[in-house]
Amino acid sequence: MPLIRFLGPGLLLDRDGNPVTVRSRKLLALLAYLMTEQQVAHSRSQLLALFWPDATTADAQNNLRVSLNRLRKIPQEIAVDESEYGELLLVDRFTVQAQPAWAELTDFNQFNQLLESTRRHDHVSRGQCAECQARLQQAVQLYQGEFLAGLGLAECTDYEEWLFMQRERLRVLLLEAYQDLGDYAESTGDLTAARGFSQRQLELDSLREPAYRQQMRILAAQGDRSGALLLFERCRTVLSDELGLDPEPETLALHMQILNAEMPARADATDAPVSAPRHNLSQPLTPFIGREEEVEALQERLANPTYRLLSIVGPGGIGKSRLAQQVAAQQLNSFRDGVYFVALAQTPTAESIPLAIVETMQLAFGASDKSPAEQMFEMIGRKQILLVLDNFEHLMDGVDLLMQLLQKAPEVVLLITSRERLNLQAEDLFELHGLAVPASHTEPTAAHFAAIRLFTDRAHRLDKHFKLTSAQLPQVVQICQLVEGFPLAIELAATWIRDLDCADIVAELVDGLARLETTARDVDPQHRSLRSVFNASWKLLSLQERTVLARLAIFRGGFTLDAAHAVAQATPALLSGLRNKSLLRHAGARRYDMHALVHQFAAEVLANDAAEATLVRDAHSQYFLTLLAEQAVALDTRAAGAASALIQPEWENAVMAWQQAVAQREAPRLQNALDGLYRFCDLRGLYGEAQTLLESALVCFETPLTALTDASMAMDVRAQSLLCCRLLTALISTAECRGEFERSQKLAQKALALATVLDSKEDIIKISLGQAKAFELDDRYSQGLALAEKLLAMAEAEGLELQAGNSMELIGYNAYRLGDYVRAHAMYQRLLTYHERSGRLELPARLAISILGSMAIDQGDYAAGLTYYHRFLASSQAADDRVNMAHAYDYLARAWNHLGDFDQAIALADQCVACAEILGDSWLKRRTLIRRSYAQRQLGQLAEALSGLTEAASLARINGSQLALADTLAQLAETQMAMAQSTRQWEEAAATFQEAATLLRAGHEMTKVRAVEIGLAELAHRRGDGATAFMQIEPILPHLPTESAAGWDEPLRAYLVCVRILHAMGNPLAQDLCDQARQLLDRLACNIADYAQRQTFLNAIPAHRELRAEWERTVAS
């Protein structure tokens, strides 16, 4: 029973069938639109134009936000488990989309699916197909009235147009369904039902002549000639009155037949029996699961006479034969002389193919001088048949015979299954891959993927206690992922279900896929184990192909043509041949990979030859470490995005290459590759992986400082020590990025001591830059600034461009945090100029752009800040810099908070939090949780804000930064104050404010201290303690900003609190202060050129809106 009904007046039902109230007609209309158009994501602007065309942008956005929040509650109201269908809506800051799985609960979707299934069903005519008639009956029963009857919105013209088009489309579909139902009922002699169906048509369309004709025939057949003639007159009158036309010739001819009594007294309910189509297809003993797209594509090709040679190609066990049988079974009515499945697995040679075909068709060769092939051509040359030639891969010498057959028999169509493509121009190739597998068990529709359904079906056949539960789903998904959706492997894995649970099956597969086998008697011997499948393919390879395939097993995650040539001596022709035999897969431009099963067996072959395996591993390591070395410089330039994109698909190979070099103690290779390895990890945020790789090398090469005396420092020892120094330097940065500041300092001390002994100025500067960064992270900006200035002088003296640029970036940031905006701005401009000249300072220049944005925000130029932040994001995206993309989302959330678009701020903060969790960056996560909580507080989502800030405070205490903790506590106190309803809660908020103020005073952050004291003043004011409130604001009043934001996060909110406190006391200063606040608000708004953004800034931020109202009241009084 559909719980969401749109066919008729819109209606929602709970699980018990009781109606559920929807707050408004527009809300129901919005739900209907999203659910019936769920195949695409809709932009928010499109929805605003559809449903609130006359509202202001701010009002429309608010209406949409409220409506979406109400729609999200529908699953609870109709008692639907969201774990089964997922969330009702997929919402981000730009788009809204209904979850596709929810469409299953609507009558609209069920109606369309039923009709679509009748169109796709293989039959001569829908009007004569009993199976489709049952589906049509179900469909028309769902149609309880006009689509969204009575749910028009006169003020929404675009919505009205959409509604009209939907209603018209559904009306046409319903008319066609009733017509086919009527035709079938009439042909089977059920005249009462046929008359009812034709009457339904006329109720929908009073001008529909075929329905009139059908009713006239039925009335005449039932002996009611006068009723039939009367109906004709009604038809003629309606057509004349409505259209000014006469009836169609067919209607006039039928009228004359009835008038002359030429119609039979009763329609003939029996048809001549149709002879059953000829075929040898066996009835499947298990259901066919998945491959819907492949079936549809093959059906389309078979319906087109241009395509007469179709091949389904893929590795053994991929499901080629079963797919061919399924498609062939749906073609029984399409080939006059039959459909035949010719099994060729046991056919020894190409010369035996004609005999196999003739015997399958139950024909026989006669005594003749002609060859078997010529006799076969004569026997089937005039037939219209579909021949499925199964397992053709070992008969490639017979390809010419196929071409001759197609020429001699113009109505024969061939469907071939093979592990190897035919390599013919006439071939229409269908490459078969694994069944669809969900990327994660958390996907809402994970259980509906074909691979999961196949495992579930086969497991349940063997163990009736097995059911796919939410607890088992993760393991079943992992099983299907491990075998990459390979049908045979899934079926073999399912046979273990009687002895092992799903987790144990996963463990077995992780140990080795070769164990998959079955003893089932009804399984082809070649398919009883994966090893037998691979061995059958291995036997078809030449010696050279076997050698190359085994070498290619060294690669992880695929390989390019160049890599295959360098490592495995593979030529393009050899790779193409292996692909044609379904042992390699095309994975993009000039790139190949292997199925996991093929890879495992090929790797076993390579491992059995120890000497060969050693050579291949060494060549592999050399190739990919050279790749990292060659891209190192590019990763520091504008070409970083391209360089990163080149490394990304090879990352698994690069990791393996590094590990091999460590195992073989190849210090020069590691030294050359180190910069490329670290820069790539830094761009992608792969800090955990980088740490593991770097530490493995450090353990291998680390030399005690006591061994590095001048007398004993041989060249190889010095080279190894230099490598260790640079490994330590990279580990320092990795630790800092992971928030492990104490560890980074210990590593820095060790690295600096080593660099000093080695007298390597470049490494000394690099390590010291890490120390300057640590000062910054520990809020010691003066020390960080002094050290960065010293390092800049050293770097410029040594001609080290990259280190000079990094020093400039640190100088600019520390100056910014110390409030010296002039110096920071000058240093950043110098850095950008430096970068334009050299092109080597892409990352420091990118960071400079972000801080220029932050300075603009701090000074109240929010639109300029937004522009800088967008540049920062674009630059990060161009370089594929995942870390700074995350920071850009955080900065943009900050900008939108200041501009008042809190929905955008929350959406961006959500993106950043997700990125920070992936990156393992607790520092960034804490900061972004504050941004998100601020936006939530402005929207009144206080519980959500409190939850986020509580988590942020925990992270801040772990990280150890007192200023970070103070910022978090200040926002936490604001939220506690907003939620406070009791004395205990007021006191808790006050204590949090006081802790924040103490920490900020210790850090000399006086502007932030004043902002916290404003919070304390507001708290006292709310509690009715006017005297305390005034004492709090009195010393602050001279420091309120006048020309710009001057570093205040909420300058107008500070004014608003002071004005209200002064008003409550009757202090005349309130009027002047209110005027001053209004001037600052207007000045800040004037910086925003975009009209819509300016209006949002003025009206969406509660403090701004309330300040204007306060000013208007003051002026009026």
pLDDT at residue 516, as a whole number: 57
Plot region of 739 (φ>0 → left; ψ -120 to 50 → alpha; else → beta): left
Most confident of 13-17, 459-463, 736-740, 926-930: 926-930
Is the Cα dihedral 260, 266, 271, 272 positive or negative?
Answer: negative
Query: Of the ranges 95-104, 431-440, 680-689, which one carries the lowest mean pLDDT score?
Result: 95-104
pLDDT of residue 1062: 95
Predicted confidence at residue 520, as pLDDT, reads 44
Give which of 392, 430, 427, 420 is closest to 406, Cα–Cα. Answer: 427
Q: pTM of the full predicted structure? A: 0.58
- Give just the sign of the alpha carbon dihedral 932, 938, 940, 945: positive
What's the mean per-residue pLDDT of the chain?
A: 87
Report whether 651 contacts 700 (CB < 8 A): no
Which CA distances in Å does 805 have to 142, 641, 828, 838, 880? 69, 20, 10, 10, 20
Residue reference for tokens 């692909």: 579
pLDDT of residue 546: 92
Give the residue-averaged pLDDT of 438-460. 88
- Residue 515, pLDDT score: 59
pLDDT confidence of residue 705? 52
Contact 389, 342 (CB under 8 A): yes
How far apart are the C-alpha atoms of 570 and 555, rounded to whole Å? 13
Task: Measure the CA dihedral 920/923/925/928, to 10°.
Answer: -150
- Confidence (pLDDT) at 267: 40
619-631 pLDDT, tens digit per residue, is: 999 999 999 999 9
In angstroms, rounded to a whole number, what is the distance separating the alpha carbons of residues 193 and 178?
11
The pLDDT assigned to 704 comes to 58
Three-class secondary structure of residue 653 per DSSP: helix
Q: Is the dihedral of CA 1002, 1004, 1008, 1013 positive or negative?
A: positive
Q: What's the pLDDT band for 794 if we cut at 50, 70, 90?
A: very high
CATH class of residue range 541-608: mainly alpha
Give 773 or 868, the one with higher predicted confidence: 868
The residue ranges of DSSP E strands in 326-403, in sequence order, are: 339-343, 385-390
Strands 412-418 and 309-313: parallel
> Are 666 and 697 in contact, with CB atoms under 8 Å apart?
no
Tell me what percent of the residues of the chain surpass a pLDDT of 70: 93
Q: Where are the chain's structural domains?
A: 1-188, 292-431, 446-531, 541-608, 901-1116
Task: Give the pLDDT mean for 518-531.
Answer: 51
Q: How confident is the model at residue 270 (pLDDT cuts 50, 70, 90)?
A: very low
Rounded to the nearest angstrom, the gap between the alpha carbon of residue 382 and the centroid of all alpha carbons in its chain is 52
> Residue 118 in contact with residue 135, Cβ under 8 Å?
yes
Long-range contacts at 504-508 (CB < 8 A, ≥ 24 apart): 505/475, 505/479, 506/475, 506/478, 506/479, 506/482
Average pLDDT rounded to a whole number, residues 369-383 = 88
* Superfamily of domain covering 901-1116: Tetratricopeptide repeat domain (1.25.40.10)
pLDDT band of 788, cuts 50, 70, 90: very high
Give me the mean pLDDT over the 611-615 stretch: 94
pLDDT at 585: 82
- CATH number at 292-431: 3.40.50.300
274 has pLDDT over 50: no
pLDDT score at 23: 74
The arithmetic mean of pLDDT across residues 28-39, rounded, is 88
Mean pLDDT (whole number) for 869-879: 91
- 1083-1107 pLDDT, tens digit per residue, is 999 999 989 999 999 999 999 999 9
Q: Which residue has the tokens 């980074």?
A: 744
Backbone angles phi, psi at 853, to 5 degrees: -65, -45
Report d(CA 214, CA 198) in Å as an integer: 7
729 by DSSP, 3-state: which? helix
Average pLDDT, stretch 635-651?
89
- The answer to which of 523-532, 642-651, 936-945, 1025-1034 has the lowest mean pLDDT is 523-532
Query: Do 541-608 and 1-188 fall under one CATH topology?
Result: yes
| pLDDT tens digit sequence for 538-575 | 887 889 999 999 999 999 989 999 999 999 999 988 99
pLDDT at 276 over 60: no
In the predicted model, is pLDDT for residue 994 greater than 60?
yes
Average pLDDT rounded to a whole number, residues 880-892: 93
Across the range 759-787, mean pLDDT stands at: 84
pLDDT tens sequence across 90-143? 888 788 998 888 877 888 888 888 888 887 776 556 767 788 888 899 998 989
Residue 270 CA from chain centroid, whole number = 55
Chain position carrying tokens 């502007």: 1007
| Per-residue buried b or exposed e for 365-392, using 16+ beta carbons within 10 Å of the residue's own CB | eeeeeeebbebbbebbeebebbbbbbbb
* CB neighbours of residue 1025 within 10 Å: 14
Assign domain 1-188 to a CATH class: mainly alpha
pLDDT in the model for residue 508:
81
Q: Is the pLDDT of residue 216 over 70?
A: yes
What residues pair up with 42 in beta bridges, in sequence order?
Answer: 96
Range from 329-338, 887-896, 909-918 carrying the lowest mean pLDDT:
329-338
Residues 631/634/635/637 CA torsion (nearest 10 deg): 180
